[in-house]
């Protein structure tokens, strides 16, 4: 009888702490009188719900020629990873001053592209964001729906 009571108490506490973690995940408010160290394990289980967004975003790289025309540069030449790993690496969360790092990457890409005969006068790195599509990653990637945020641009001197 005591074992059965302890088992049920354990299950109730487990469910309660899971609900506390879910409440924090969805509302960013802690349940009053529940200490955070008790909730951290259960909060980690909520990882799929912690950063859900309704938009796709990707760092795009463009090269500009002498006539002013921008051409998209395939990032996989310089970042030979899958899309998910590229998205995490290019965010460069460990760097405080990201602009200087992005500018350095743009400089190196400009030099490499020009060494391969592209003849760009500048390279731009920009975050582009667009609504998710149920069909594929780029399903809603249209000029009307994409917002662009220039992170860095490097010009030839």
Q: Model pTM greater than 0.85? A: no
User: Does 23 have pLDDT greater than 70?
Assistant: yes
Confidence bin at 109 (pLDDT 50/70/90): very high
Clarify whether residues 110 and 131 are in a common domain. yes
Clarify whether residues 137 and 81 are in a common domain. yes
Clarify whether residues 44 and 98 are in a common domain. no
Region of 102 on the Ramachandran plot (φ > 0 left; ψ -120 to 50 alpha; else beta): alpha
DSSP the chain: -HHHHHHHHHHHHHHHHHHHHHHHHHHS-PPTT--HHHHHHHHHTTHHHHS--SEEEEEEEEEE-TTS-EEEEPGGGTS-S-HHHHHHHHH-TT-S-HHHHHHHHHHHHHHHHHHTT---SEEEEEEEEEE--SS-TTTT--TTT-EEEEEEEEE--
Query: What's the confidence (pLDDT) of residue 44?
Result: 82
Domain boundary among 14, 30, 50: 50
Clarify whether residues 62 and 98 are in a common domain. yes
Clarify whether residues 80 and 137 are in a common domain. yes
Q: What total of structural domains would you count in the chain?
A: 2
Clarify whether residues 100 and 24 are in a common domain. no
Mean pLDDT in residue range 50-64: 87
Mean pLDDT in residue range 2-14: 95
Mean pLDDT in residue range 125-143: 93
Mean pLDDT in residue range 67-90: 90
User: Does 64 have pLDDT greater than 80?
Assistant: yes
Clarify whether residues 75 and 119 are in a common domain. yes
Domain enclosing residue 110, as ranges: 55-155
Confidence bin at 68 (pLDDT 50/70/90): very high
Clarify whether residues 30 and 81 are in a common domain. no
Query: What's the confidence (pLDDT) of residue 157?
Result: 66
Contact indicator for 20, 39 with CB cutoff of 8 Å: yes
Query: What's the confidence (pLDDT) of residue 12?
Result: 96
User: Does 53 have pLDDT greater than 90?
Assistant: no
């Amino acid at each position: 009888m005591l074992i059965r009571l302890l088992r049920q108490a354990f299950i109730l506490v487990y469910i309660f702490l899971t609900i506390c973690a879910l409440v924090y995940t969805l509302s960013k408010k802690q349940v009053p009188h529940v200490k955070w160290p008790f909730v951290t394990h259960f909060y980690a289980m909520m990882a799929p719900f912690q950063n859900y967004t309704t938009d796709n975003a990707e760092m795009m790289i463009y090269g500009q020629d002498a006539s002013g025309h921008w051409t998209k540069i395939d990032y996989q030449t310089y970042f030979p990873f899958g899309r998910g790993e590229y998205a995490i690496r290019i965010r460069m969360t460990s760097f405080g001053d990201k602009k200087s790092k992005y500018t350095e990457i743009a400089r190196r890409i400009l030099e490499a592209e020009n060494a391969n005969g592209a003849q760009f006068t500048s390279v731009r790195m920009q975050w582009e964001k667009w609504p998710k599509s149920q069909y594929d990653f780029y399903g809603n990637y249209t000029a009307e729906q994409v917002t662009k945020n220039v992170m860095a641009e490097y010009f030839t001197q």
